[in-house]
Amino acid sequence: MNIYVSNLSFNVTDDDLEGFFAEYGEVSSARVITDKFTGKSRGFGFVEMPNDEAARKAIAELDGGRVEGREIKVAEARPREERGGNEKRSFSRNNSYNNRY
């Protein structure tokens, strides 16, 4: 099961995140999402656990818990929505700003 964890302190590392969930069962991966330009945490991450029962227990017990003074939110991750990369955006030049010049 893929688990979404939000409202993380910016000091939380991948290893910290894995540690939070490891006491509930095997953790396949744990990753804090970082900004691609600065490398700093974006305050959320994902944990994968192969055992759904262990994952559900971790979600139930960790959701609302406090880490470094912040109340974290823990939930089953939803599938990522497709971005319409092939769709063309329209741009209209017929607006009031352009009509003035």
In sequence order, the β-bridge partners of residue 47 are: 3, 30
pTM beyond 0.85 = no
In a domain, 87, yes or no: no
In a domain, 28, yes or no: yes
Task: Determine contact, residues 63/7, Cβ cutoff 8 Å.
Answer: no
- CATH (domain of 11): 3.30.70.330
In a domain, 48, yes or no: yes
Q: Please give the residue range of the domain that contains residue 36.
A: 2-76
In a domain, 92, yes or no: no
Instruction: Give the integer Cα–Cα distance in Å for 27 and 5.
Output: 14
Domain total of the chain: 1
Helices and strands (DSSP H and E) totals, the chain: 3, 6
Instruction: Give the integer Cα–Cα distance in Å for 43 and 5.
Output: 9
In a domain, 41, yes or no: yes
pLDDT single digits (tens) 10-40: 999 999 999 999 999 999 999 999 999 999 9
In a domain, 91, yes or no: no
In a domain, 22, yes or no: yes
How are beta strands 66-67 and 70-71 bridged, if at all? antiparallel
Task: Determine contact, residues 44/7, Cβ cutoff 8 Å.
Answer: yes
Looking at residue 80, its pLDDT comes to 75
In a domain, 68, yes or no: yes
